[in-house]
């Protein structure tokens, strides 16, 4: 278990916004740092992909509308993806409480990120000094020093949380009354819906289009249709919508 936790903690560093090793932010923060990708990797490492993806889907939906303008993060989705998923699996907890657990984990990640920025100001100023003198080796050394800080501040807390927190979370869940667990589960179901709502509010200008999403929800909930069938129906509906709402030049 030591090796698995260490590997998950390493991925929590590699998927951070400040880690440059996996094609910069493209392969790191925007790939490894996505909750659904992170949960899948955790599932492979811990041997429980099914539970991991159940957690990942909930978390991805919850934070799907979150953006990071100027590297300002309201929540650390990278830490959430790896630590929350791993804690749920290691503690054998109900995946439905993952969104509730994700909130404090995300805030912890942001706190760590802000500390990293403060510490790395030192390396940035030193690198500026070396740049003025034309000392390339000094600039490289400062960049390396900053990454050592990033690694230590991301890897060590993640490892300690997973190594010691799995037993704590399991004991805590056993102590919580069933009615509290029920309300946590309900809250966990609301938060992903809120995330989807935020995303839709960002990309949909004509609010009447929300009716289409409500229709899709009803087809899943009350008619038990599979997602693929609903997606095909959506494509057909979109074609007819385009054709009869100003797309007369459409030739099929």
Q: How large a percentage of the chain has pLDDT more than 90? A: 36
Spatial CA neighbour of 32 closest among 18, 51, 49: 18
For the chain, give me the number of helices (H) and strands (E)? Answer: 11, 0
What is the sign of the dihedral through the CA atoms of 198, 224, 57 and 170? positive
Structure confidence at residue 106 (pLDDT): 86
3-state DSSP assignment of residue 93: coil
pLDDT computed for residue 70 by the predictor: 55
Which pair of tokens denotes residue 150?
């990033």
**Which 8-state DSSP code applies to residue 83?**
I
pLDDT in tens, 81-122: 999 999 999 988 888 888 888 888 888 888 888 889 889 999
> Which pLDDT score is estimated for 68?
63
Question: Is residue 117 within 8 Å of 91, Cβ to Cβ?
Answer: no
Assessment of whether the complete model's pTM goes beyond 0.85: no
Is residue 201 predicted with pLDDT exceeding 80? no
Give the tokens for residue 7. Answer: 């590997």
Q: Which has the closest alpha carbon to 32: 51, 13, 45, 46?
A: 13
Q: H or E element: which one contains 163?
A: helix 136-175
Distance (Å, whole) CA 9 – CA 152: 10
How long is the chain?
A: 252
The token pair at 233 is: 């129906």
What CA–CA distance (Å, rounded) separates 23 from 32? Answer: 11
Average pLDDT estimate for 156-185: 73
- Quick one: pLDDT at residue 20? 87
Please, what is the average pLDDT of the chain? 83
Please give the residue that has the higher pLDDT: either 194 or 25.
25
Quote the pLDDT of residue 252. 47
Mean pLDDT of the region 245-252:
55
Which value, to the nearest 10 degrees, does the dihedral of the CA atoms of residues 216, 218, 219, 225 take?
A: 110
- Summarize the confidence of residues 37-55 as an average pLDDT: 94
Per residue in 6-37, pLDDT (tens digit) is: 999 999 999 988 888 888 888 888 899 999 99
Local confidence band at 182 (pLDDT 50, 70, 90 cut-offs): low
Query: Considering only 26-35, 71-80, 179-188, 191-200, which range has the smallest mean pLDDT?
Result: 179-188
Q: Distance between CA atoms of 164 and 5, rounded to whole angstroms?
A: 11
């Amino acid at each position: 278990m030591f090796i698995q936790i260490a590997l998950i903690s390493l991925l929590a560093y590699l998927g951070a916004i400040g880690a440059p090793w996996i094609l910069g932010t493209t392969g790191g923060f925007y790939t490894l740092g996505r909750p659904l990708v992170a949960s899948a990797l955790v599932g492979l490492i811990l041997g429980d992909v099914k539970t991991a993806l159940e957690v990942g889907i909930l978390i991805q939906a919850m934070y799907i509308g979150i953006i990071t303008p100027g590297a300002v993060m309201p929540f650390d989705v990278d830490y959430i993806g790896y630590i929350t998923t791993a804690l749920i699996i290691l503690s054998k907890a109900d995946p439905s409480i993952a969104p509730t657990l994700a909130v404090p984990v995300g805030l912890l990640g942001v706190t760590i990120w802000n500390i990293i920025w403060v510490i790395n100001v030192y390396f940035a100023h030193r690198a500026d000094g070396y740049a003025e003198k034309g000392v390339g080796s000094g600039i490289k050394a400062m960049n390396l020093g900053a990454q050592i800080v990033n690694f230590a501040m991301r890897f060590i807390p993640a490892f300690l949380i997973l190594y010691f927190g799995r037993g704590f979370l399991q004991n805590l869940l056993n102590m919580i009354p069933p009615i509290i667990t029920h309300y946590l589960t309900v809250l966990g179901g609301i938060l992903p819906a809120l995330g989807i709502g935020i995303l839709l509010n960002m990309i949909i200008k004509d609010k009447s289009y929300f009716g289409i999403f409500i229709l899709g929800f009803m087809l899943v909930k009350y008619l038990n249709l599979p997602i693929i069938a609903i997606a095909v129906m959506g494509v057909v509906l979109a074609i007819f919508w385009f054709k009869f709402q100003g797309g007369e030049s459409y030739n099929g």
